[in-house]
Structure 1
Amino acid sequence: MKYFIFFASFITIHIQSATEKPNFLFILIDDLGRQDLNCYGSKFYETPHINQLAEEGTLFTDAYSASPVCSPTRASIQTGKYPSRINFTRATPTHNLPYEETTLAEALQAFGYKTAHMGKWHMRLYKEKGHKHLPTEHGFDINIGGHSAGQPASFFYPYKAKHDKYRKNDVPHMEDGKKGDYLTDALTDKAINFMKDNQDQPFYLNLCYYTVHTPVTGKKDKVKKYEEKLKKISANQQSSSTQDYVTFARDKQDNAEYAAMVESMDENIGRLNKFLKQSGLDKNTVVIFTSDNGGLSTNKNPKAGPTSSFPLRGGKAWVYEGGIRVPLIIKWPESTQAGSEISSPVISTDFYPTILSMADLALKPKQHLDGLDLTALLKAETQNLNREELHFHFPHDHNVNGMGASSAVRVGHYKLVERFSNGKLELFNLKNDPGETNNLSAEYPELTKELHKKMQKWRIETQSMIAKSKEN
């Protein structure tokens, strides 16, 4: 009889521990700039639902992506490592996400989590065929919409290209729709259905929207709304840009099509939050909202990119703040103070150990080498992490980046930027100069030399590729 009682007790404890483990809804927006949200300063775009999420959770003022472009940052989230460590630094991958890496999804899957990836994957070769290196081979039970391409052929159903040349961008697993359906809405439908179907077991949903990446395409009614809004606030003003190296940065947010995309994204965050509350899952679901890099604000054309990162400098593909400083909001039920802010610098490699810690699972320090557990910060048990340096390495030219291949390191409030084509070093005090306009390297030569040594040491340690860009 005692053995039966012990066995029954064991089963009860096991079931309780499984159901009490938190769910994770990880929302990754593509190319969303920090300044694109009202809670981070936007005056033109409208993001009331994301504002509400910030009011209910914790907003990070100094959050960073590990790279200024998409694929490397996505790899950093799943591996907990700087992209340089796995030679995964290009916007369009030159190889697949290594099987040798134990992804965050695999770590959670091993402990009974139902795992699903929805939306953009972009961590395998563009020409790869079949199922190799898709999400289902990296720890996800379900994959909807994830493949090699970095952008959708279209944001409207059937999400396919009109010409054979671009068939690789056709979004898979989205056949059950109808004319007029919008991709951002459709992915949310599937996300809600997944959560409905998995309420009785812990889940990890990696919801990686394709929005607000190109092709910049909004719903017609919303585009018209923002065109009218522009007429009221800037009747005769033309869009303007400022030259930075050989590219141009948009001076202000005034693109109606992009604004429509941002609003649709925001509406869908509201739909997710509403479902969690109505289903009761909000009491045990951690929501993480962030972006893979800065906004697309620059271009070689004087019209510049579709958004503006001002007052931050640069944008997507730049190691200036506009390219790597991203929005981050975390809502952790019964653990974080609603409406709180954290100014301690954090980075995308931190998600891996943080999520394991939230789930009360053993950390994997040999895997997430470059990530730190943020739970003490979130619980207000500390105000600072035991980390001196943050590194950013982009050893490539990019068509929207006028400075070319470059590297950066942040130590405290100081940040050093190195441009590989000519060895130019720039030192900035981000506390006084977040727009990185005042180069202090001549004024503080010793500090410049010290930070440069740290940068060089890190590049050797991580076996980072160094490439000289073409002189602009």
Structure 2
Amino acid sequence: MQMLRPHLIVAALAFTMLACAPSPQANKRGLLAADDSRDLILVSVDTLRASRLPFYSQTLHSAPRLELAGSVDESFSMAWLASQGVVYDSAFTTAGKTLPSLASFFTGLAPIEHGAVSNMTRLQADTYVSKLKLAGFKSHARVANRSLHKFCGLAEGFDTYAVRAKQRESELGDDLLSAAHDDIASSKRVMLWAHFMAPHQPYEPLPEYRSQLSLPAEIVAGNEQLQAAHRSPQTEQHHFGAYRDLYDAEIATSNQYVQNFLSKLDAQYRAANRGGLLDNAVVVFFSDHGEELADRNGYFLHAKSLYSSVVQVPLIIIDKKSGRKGHVTDLVDLSQTMKMLLEGDEFTSDFVVSAWHNDFFAIRDNRYTLVHNPQQNALGPLEPPEDVAYFYSAVELYDRQNDPFELNNIAAQHPQIVARLGEQLYQWYNSKSLATSDPSSYLDEQTLAELGYTEDPNSEHGLDSLGPWSAEKYDNNH
């Protein structure tokens, strides 16, 4: 075989680096590198709004009345995790819904590419779990959201995968530990994923946290009450503070679940004479999306919103080997997390795009957010309660440096910034290969009925709209 000359080898390596596509041989940092034998532990909490956590700096509403994330002195509490790793202050996800967001996390693709644009559609792309399987990992998942059922596409590649509905959420951690026990005891490489449901609505915290709020027993924050807040915000506004308190108590509930799971996992490693959890694994803590909490329109939920309260998510990565701790303020795309972890790629982004199906878009750079309703649909995203509009202007611009919750639309004052971000969004969209909107990618009626859905996914907006405006249309509308 002909030997490559040294200068050609250097050129080839330089080309690989410039192409941003490191091969396993070139990679020196990721978990798939030949010299790395650590495990990967993923802990996600559904509907967890970053700005309600004490290690994120700002909150729009009154400060929480409870200690939501535990103490930094309590091992494996959320606060302790933040003290042990890197907290990403500007991490954004691709969508304000569970399956679209998590499918992006596990594929690195936008929802319009992987096809799971709704909780009622199937993922149409391979996930990083398959890569882990080829690398010899044993992968186990336990999830508490029924949208992540075995038909959704995320279960592919896992050795075990099961849903433990919110009513059985307290069992989720122990169930996952049981599934992983033999693999950890025999020092097999594992990837574990625990997805907790609290604080997703209905806001029903554990009694020990609700009791700290001293709320009357008749005050509840179920789907009926939260949807009524959206329908009649002025008449329901006197309940908003109590509903937010109950949401916060749900965060405290999820902190207990997370802390119990990770503490027991740490003990499991130690029982196998392998040292502690952080000696053996990279731990990632994150959320699929946040919650509006009536920032606008009396809307407490998440699926209709592309604003920062929903698509900005908590993200903590604890990598004891790297020794990195503290806060990173650079813009981060949550969907690129797995690629960074496994392949050692750079993690910061020039911009992040979030979308509802193929109809509503938001693009963010390090300072500004452009929200775009290209069809000028006055009803907004078709999500419960569907009889209430959630209005987006055709073009909205926000300066997150001065307006982190994106409440003051400054598009009219900054047409050049609107045009720049609009062009980036248009170019991004046209660089994507859209997944098909073939009805075969939707769940069948029987499966939907088993999961408790009554809506027909074919009635939702799919992937058939025209996408964002071109630069010319921005010019014409300004």
TM-score by length of 1: 0.67
Deviations 1:426-458 (A, max 9, x none): 122211221223322222212211211221222
CA distance in 2, matches of 1:44, 1:263: 11
Question: Where does 1:376-387 land on structure 2 (aligned, <5 Å)?
Answer: 385=348, 387=349
Q: Identify the match of residue 45 of structure 2 among 20, 23, 29.
A: 29
Q: CA deviation at 1:296?
A: 4.8
1:293–1:316 contact (8 Å) kept in structure 2: no
Q: What residue is the counterpart of 1:217 in the other structure?
A: 204
Q: Structure 1: which amino acid aligns with 2:48?
A: L
Cα distance change of structure 1 residues 133 and 428 upon mapping to structure 2, 3 Å threshold: closer
Is 1:190 the counterpart of 2:175? The answer is: yes
Q: What residue is the counterpart of 2:286 in the other structure?
A: 290
Q: What residue is the counterpart of 1:394 in the other structure?
A: 356
Is 1:143 the counterpart of 2:158? The answer is: no
Question: Where does 1:30-429 land on structure 2 (aligned, <5 Å)?
Answer: 30-40=46-56, 43-46=64-67, 47-48=69-70, 49-90=77-118, 92-93=119-120, 95-98=121-124, 101-120=125-144, 135-136=154-155, 138-145=156-163, 152=165, 155-156=166-167, 183-199=168-184, 200-227=187-214, 255-278=244-267, 279=270, 280-298=276-294, 302=298, 304-305=299-300, 315-338=302-325, 340-357=326-343, 373-374=346-347, 385=348, 387-395=349-357, 405-422=359-376, 424-429=394-399
2:145–2:197 contact (8 Å) kept in structure 1: no
Q: What residue is the counterpart of 1:436 in the other structure?
A: 406
Q: CA deviation at 1:206?
A: 1.4
1:317–1:323 contact (8 Å) kept in structure 2: no
Deviations 1:5-27 (A, max 9, x none): xxxxxxxxxxxx99951111101
Q: What residue is the counterpart of 2:475 in the other structure?
A: none
CA distance in 1, matches of 2:327, 2:429: 32
SS at match of 2:316: strand
SS at match of 2:176: helix
Q: Structure 1: which amino acid aligns with 2:103?
A: A
Deviations 1:78-98 (A, max 9, x none): 1111111133222x22x3212
Q: Structure 1: which amino acid aligns with 2:353?
A: H
Cα distance change of structure 1 residues 292 and 438 upon mapping to structure 2, 3 Å threshold: same
Q: Structure 2: which amino acid aligns with 1:43?
A: P
Cα distance change of structure 1 residues 329 and 320 upon mapping to structure 2, 3 Å threshold: same
How many pairs does the alignment contain?
360
CA distance in 1, matches of 2:427, 2:173: 44
CA distance in 2, matches of 1:413, 1:229: 42
1:58–1:336 contact (8 Å) kept in structure 2: no
Cα distance change of structure 1 residues 246 and 75 upon mapping to structure 2, 3 Å threshold: farther
Deviations 1:214-233 (A, max 9, x none): 33322223322222699xxx
SS at match of 1:186: helix
Q: CA deviation at 1:203?
A: 0.4
Q: Identify the match of residue 458 of structure 1 among 428, 432, 442.
A: 428
CA distance in 1, matches of 2:213, 2:244: 8
| Of 246-255 and 72-81, the range deviating more from structure 2 | 246-255
**Paired-residue identity, %:** 19
Q: Name stretches of at least 5 consecutive residues in structure 2 with no aligned partner.
A: 1-32, 58-62, 71-76, 218-224, 271-275, 377-392, 435-462, 468-478
Cα distance change of structure 1 residues 78 and 300 upon mapping to structure 2, 3 Å threshold: same
SS at match of 2:55: helix
TM-score by length of 2: 0.66
2:331–2:365 contact (8 Å) kept in structure 1: no
1:135–1:143 contact (8 Å) kept in structure 2: no
Q: CA deviation at 1:316?
A: 4.6
Q: Structure 2: which amino acid aligns with 1:258?
A: Y
SS at match of 2:140: strand
CA distance in 1, matches of 2:209, 2:252: 8
CA distance in 2, matches of 1:452, 1:186: 46
CA distance in 1, matches of 2:264, 2:128: 25
1:408–1:415 contact (8 Å) kept in structure 2: yes
Q: CA deviation at 1:251?
A: 6.4
1:34–1:295 contact (8 Å) kept in structure 2: no
Q: CA deviation at 1:140?
A: 0.2
1:393–1:408 contact (8 Å) kept in structure 2: yes
Q: CA deviation at 1:112?
A: 0.7
2:104–2:114 contact (8 Å) kept in structure 1: no
Cα distance change of structure 1 residues 466 and 458 upon mapping to structure 2, 3 Å threshold: farther
2:90–2:332 contact (8 Å) kept in structure 1: yes
Q: Name stretches of at least 5 consecutive residues in structure 1 with no aligned partner.
A: 1-16, 147-151, 157-182, 231-238, 307-314, 359-371, 375-384, 397-404
2:78–2:259 contact (8 Å) kept in structure 1: yes
